[in-house]
Amino acid sequence: MSTVEVSPAEPRSDEASRPVINDFSIQVATVNGSGSQTANTVLMRSIFQMGIPVSGKNMFPSNIAGLPTWFTIRASKHGYIGRKKEVDFLVAMNPETAREDVMSLDSGAAVVYDEPLKLNALRSDLHFYPVPFDKLVAPVCPEAKLRKLVRNMIYDGVVANLLSIDMQEIRKALVKQFGKKKAKAAELNWGAAQAGYDYAAKTFTKRDPFRVERMNETAGKIIIDGNSASALGCLFAGVTVVTWYPITPSSSLVETLIAYMKRFRIDPETGKASFAVVQAEDELASIGMAIGAGWAGARSMTATAGPGISLMAEFIGLGYYAEIPAVIFDVERVGPSTGLPTRTAQGDLLSCALLSHGDTKHPMFFPCSPEECFTMAQDAFNLAERFQTPVFVMTDLDLGMNNWMSDPFPYPTTPIDRGKVLSAEDLEKLGGFARYRDVDGDGVGYRTIPGTRHPAAAYFTRGSGHNDRAGYSEREDDYMNNMDRLALKFETMRTHVPPPVAEYNDRARIGLIAVGTSHHAVEESRDQLRNEYEIETSYLRPKAYPFNAELVEFIRRHDRVYVVDQNRDAQLLGLMRLELEPEDIARLRSLRYYGGLPLDARTVTDEVIRQEGK
Amino acid sequence: MSTTVTPPPKKVNRIGLEILNYKGLKTTLCAGCGHNAISERIVECFYELGIEPYHVAKFSGIGCSSKSPAYFLGQSHGFNAVHGRMPAVASGAILANHHILGLGVTGDGDTASIGIGQFMHQVRRNVPMIYVIEDNGVYGLTKGQFSATADLGSKLKTGVLNDLPPFDCCALALKWGATFVARSFSGDKKQLQALLKAAIVHKGLSVIDVVSPCVTFNDHEGSTKSYSYMKDHEEPLHEVDFVPSYEDITVEIPEGEVREVVLHDGSRLRIRKLDRDYDPTQKISALAALEEAEAKGEVLTGVLYVAPEKPTFIELLNLMDEPLATLPESKVRPSKEVLDLVMEELR
Ligand SMILES: Cc1ncc(C[n+]2csc(CCOP(=O)(O)OP(=O)(O)O)c2C)c(N)n1
Ligand code: SF4
Ligand SMILES: [Mg+2]
């Protein structure tokens, strides 16, 4: 039996003695369409099943097959689930990118690669493990057609061996992945994984320091992507009308919702649906349908991304003025359609907050995790109906399409809030109503829905040219009164949206503010700042817009406040500027990242340090 | 000396409502505008059919025509939406409550120019509603520019000639699978009434393109959508009568003279032949008739096509009978057991 010696030419002498346990990232570089998704998911799951906090991020091209993709799995005993910039363990399967992938590794990293690529010649400071994938796959997969797919499972076995991942966990994850119906496929893949494991066991001498050890940090947890979590939120929010037009990264939100609705929202007795889903002809129509449905009393929603938001602008403005509930999920992504549509960003904050023409502003929710996608979806429907207005749920590609570890979701504890809707009996008692009159002092009028069996129920809906009885008016005072009431309504929302999460540190001179997925990088960065630079920080994470009063309080308690943005033009900071006093604005600093990848802690830390002049 | 005058009994329809219950606000459109005549016919039809006003929802886009829903059915909910996108709003509302009777009123600019895409898809889905196009060949509200239904060679008041061919909304709707297609003229009271009533009871989407002259911007010499042009060029396919389902048919129908089309609710369209024997259940002959008329410079009016039983979008979606809008929480929020099951699957 031969042992291939492929360790670095000059390994750092202390390396073997300093194992790195449960704190590294694995990157698998493949070609999209090659079926690597299964192998990657199984690998991630098996680490999760060993009780180790884990996260997975897929970086994929806007293309169906043949372009490079990278899947990164991070194991973190500290529970960090943001992206880690440095790759510790590379699985290089893509000849196109292998060279660059290897060259960008830090010294001491490990590389599993397809033997013919001869990557070991590139550098002498890495640990190389060449694997003859084609030779190994042939005996375990007699059917040549399937080899391309099964081949990837081999690296799961190799990596399991090198990182001490329990093969039984790989098996369990495989069974879970394929389900009972595809037991044969699971067996085939299991054979491949075993072949990889056995090859590694008899061939390699472990030189790199990375490995896993069982922990107990994932018991009871689930793995889910943000879009599925949002879909579940809509399901339990009691959504009834769903309209959409496919666009990455939002499509899977609606597709998952449809699947759940078909399972759980068909009346078992009649076989009839308690929901309608329409794949519209475009986003002009999808939002129009959502608005029409909201007007007529449905809980309606649509899901889209930036290009769709642009098309929806006019209708959402009408929704604001005519005061119609609808929920819009914006799964943000980079730039225009021919930008980087499969990369993540938080670039629609300003456009959504102020979408449309005239004086419009809209509430937004900023979930940072699947659990918040679930709960905020429900909050969004309640807010939309309570305040009779379009509401945005701002997620992004990183949250929406990547797999996250999460606590199981809590069953809703409060009833669905349908807002101020008058029934025929109410109208009988009242004798009539004024649609846009502020009866309760919160800026929100009472509405009726079509089909209400009463001669006084009807009103005529149009934009802003109306008096408080919904009668046509172009009078200056009617218009201004209406606009002022809409402004009051927006102010009222400040105390109705979920409050921010604030972590004050008495010794901190500086604060950080972030929303959505920036949270994970900021959390880890605060530890880096403390551990590496002895800088204490406070942290405020607004969960919604309009911002709550605590924003100002937080800013005033710190000398400098870094506002984290995943866009070029500091949109989150810009939104704050719109309403803060000059002396508060003066304390704000901008910390931006806009490269299209999920924000990582190191980028935040380095930028704080740079601006702090340390 | 005093005399007591007993007021004459108020005239009511079969559900006991007066015509007043079907009226809207006073129109603000120009006197003589074709759209006003259409509004009047709408009021009469809903009154005569005895439809509860609360049962109806009106939808429109933007334009003079789209303003008109304020001028009829004041006891029905109305939604004046955005330009060209009435169909989407109507679809959403009808999905929310498929018991409401949707009445869309739009213009030729609203439907054939900016809104052609939504019109097309509404037809394709057969969303159950009435779709009235008040067709004057121009944009009235923006003061007289050509729309996409303006005929080749027709002239604007300013003398500008239209050098593009028109869209024929009826022919297009037929191609896209419409289940009820008719054309009428705002000045033809009797025909328009019969067609509107048939459109109201038709189960699916009913398209009625009504030539409706704009007296201010398109009623001059050289216009092909003027009153005088229509007087000379209207070519009724047949005489139509509408017999509602709740009325017994007593009159004997002379063999060969009259065709009957039975609509979904049992109402009938009685079609009396004029020059030709036209069968409105044949799509190919409808398309051919439109092509021939166009070649001859005639405006064919009447029921072009009707397929009374084609499934509607609501049927395709397999919706519950109860409106989605008013389903109780117990019907729309799955149980805790369902959430537990889903969570277990994700472990
Ligand atoms: C997005 C948008 N573009 C342009 C307009 C301006 N506009 C108002 S009405 C109208 C044309 C209406 O024409 P038509 O539908 O034929 O109605 P008519 O007034 O002739 O009855 C236009 C272009 C608008 N309201 N919205
Ligand atoms: S401008 Fe033309 S379409 Fe508009 S109201 Fe006057 S006549 Fe009618
Ligand atoms: Mg017009």
Which CATH number does the domain housing residue B161 bear? 3.40.50.970
Q: In the predicted model, is pLDDT for residue A2 greater than 50?
A: no
* pLDDT in the model for residue A149: 87
In a domain, B323, yes or no: no
Interface of A with B in 264-283 (CB under 8 A): 264-265, 267, 270-278, 280-282
- Local confidence band at A181 (pLDDT 50, 70, 90 cut-offs): confident
* Among A72, A47, A38, residue whose Cα is nearest residue A58: A72
Give, in order, the Cα–Cα distances in Å from A432 to each of A247, A454, A473, A481, B161.
Answer: 44, 9, 20, 21, 52
Give, in order, the Cα–Cα distances in Å from A578 to each of A360, A489, A506, A574, B222.
Answer: 13, 18, 28, 7, 55
Domain-terminating residue out of A493, A518, A539: A493
**Burial category of B328 from C-beta neighbours within 10 Å (exposed 0-12, middle 13-18, buried 19 and up):** exposed
Q: Where are the alpha helices (DSSP H) in A296-347?
A: 306-322
List of chain B residues whose C-beta atoms are within 8 Å of the C-beta of residue A294:
92, 96
* pLDDT in the model for residue B252: 62
Same domain, A397 and A312: yes
Same domain, A361 and A267: yes
* pLDDT in the model for residue B331: 97
| Mean pLDDT score, B6-11 | 84
User: d(Cα B99, Cα A512) in Å, to the nearest integer?
Assistant: 53
Mean pLDDT of chain B: 95
Q: In the predicted model, is pLDDT for residue A10 greater than 90?
A: no
pLDDT digits (tens, 9 = 90+) for A91-113: 999 999 999 999 999 999 999 99
Q: Which tops the pLDDT comparison, A34 or A87? A: A87
Q: What share of chain A is helix, strand, coil (3-state, %, to 5)?
A: 40, 20, 40
Q: Give the domain range for residue B235.
A: 19-317
* pLDDT in the model for residue B250: 62
CATH number at residue A124: 3.40.920.10
Q: Which of A239, A243, A461 sits opposite B79 (nearest CB)?
A: A461
**Cα distance from N-terminal residue to C-terminal residue, chain B:** 93
Work out how many domains chain A is built from and give that number. Answer: 4
Q: Give the domain range for residue A522.
A: 501-612
CATH number at residue A346: 3.40.50.970
Same domain, A95 and A168: yes
Same domain, A326 and A463: no
In a domain, A4, yes or no: no
In a domain, A290, yes or no: yes
In a domain, B334, yes or no: no
**Atom 6 (ligand 1) nearest CA:** B142
Q: In the predicted model, is pLDDT for residue A422 greater than 80?
A: yes
In a domain, A8, yes or no: no
* pLDDT in the model for residue A492: 98
**Residues in Cβ contact with A8 at an 8 Å cutoff, skipping those fewer than 6 apart:** A108, A124, A125, A126, A127, A207
Give, in order, the Cα–Cα distances in Å from A74 to each of A53, A54, A71, A526, A564.
Answer: 8, 5, 10, 19, 23
pLDDT digits (tens, 9 = 90+) for A212-230: 999 999 999 999 999 999 9
Same domain, A508 and A563: yes
Look at strands A588-592 and A210-211 and give their pairing.
unpaired
Q: CA angle at residue A310 from A304 to A314, to 5 degrees?
A: 110
**Cα distance from N-terminal residue to C-terminal residue, chain A:** 55
Contact A318 B81 (CB under 8 A): yes
What are the tokens at A280?
A: 């519209």
Contact A236 B91 (CB under 8 A): no
Same domain, A342 and A257: yes
Contact B320 A270 (CB under 8 A): yes
* Among B40, B249, B203, B226, residue whose Cα is nearest residue B136: B226
| Mean pLDDT score, A34-57 | 94
* pLDDT in the model for residue A4: 47
Work out how many domains chain B is built from and give that number. Answer: 1
CATH number at residue A517: 3.40.50.920
Q: Which tops the pLDDT comparison, B105 or A148? A: B105
Residue from B22, B23, B66, B85 to probe the interface with A (highest A Cβ count within 10 Å): B85
pLDDT digits (tens, 9 = 90+) for B314-323: 999 999 999 9
Look at strands B258-262 and B268-273 and give their pairing.
antiparallel
User: d(Cα A277, Cα A265) in Å, to the nearest integer?
Assistant: 12
Question: Cα A256 from chain centroid?
Answer: 15
In a domain, B149, yes or no: yes
Same domain, A54 and A160: yes
| Interface predicted TM-score (ipTM) of this complex, two decimals | 0.96
Q: Is residue B64 within 6 Å of ligand 2 at its C-beta?
A: yes
Domain-terminating residue out of A458, A493, A528: A493
Is B133 strand, coil or helix?
strand
Same domain, A443 and A524: no
Q: In the predicted model, is pLDDT for residue A15 greater than 60?
A: no
In a domain, A203, yes or no: yes
Is A450 at the interface with chain B, CB within 8 A? yes
User: What kind and span of H or E run contains A21?
Assistant: strand A20-21
* pLDDT in the model for residue B255: 63
Q: In the predicted model, is pLDDT for residue A11 greater than 60?
A: no
pLDDT over 70 for what percent of chain A?
A: 97
* Among A302, A287, A279, residue whose Cα is nearest residue A356: A287
DSSP type of residue A553:
H
Ligand 1-lining residues (CB < 6 angstroms): B 62-65, 83, 107-110, 134, 136, 138-142, 147, 214
* pLDDT in the model for residue B2: 57
pLDDT over 90 for what percent of chain B?
A: 90
In a domain, B161, yes or no: yes
**Residues in Cβ contact with B296 at an 8 Å cutoff, skipping those fewer than 6 apart:** none
User: d(Cα B124, Cα B101) in Å, to the nearest integer?
Assistant: 19
In a domain, B97, yes or no: yes
Same domain, A207 and A94: yes
Same domain, A489 and A508: no
Contact A272 B326 (CB under 8 A): no
Same domain, A555 and A591: yes
What is the B269 CA–ligand 3 centroid distance (Å)? 29
CB A490 within 8 A of CB A484: no
The shortest C-alpha distance from A48 to chain B (Å) reads: 10
**Burial category of A266 from C-beta neighbours within 10 Å (exposed 0-12, middle 13-18, buried 19 and up):** middle
pTM of the model: 0.95
Same domain, A34 and A172: yes
pLDDT over 90 for what percent of chain A?
A: 90
Q: What share of chain B is helix, strand, coil (3-state, %, to 5)?
A: 35, 20, 45
In a domain, A416, yes or no: no
Mean pLDDT check: name the lowest of A415-424, B100-109, B157-166: B157-166
In a domain, B10, yes or no: no
In a domain, B300, yes or no: yes
User: d(Cα A401, Cα A249) in Å, to the nearest integer?
Assistant: 7
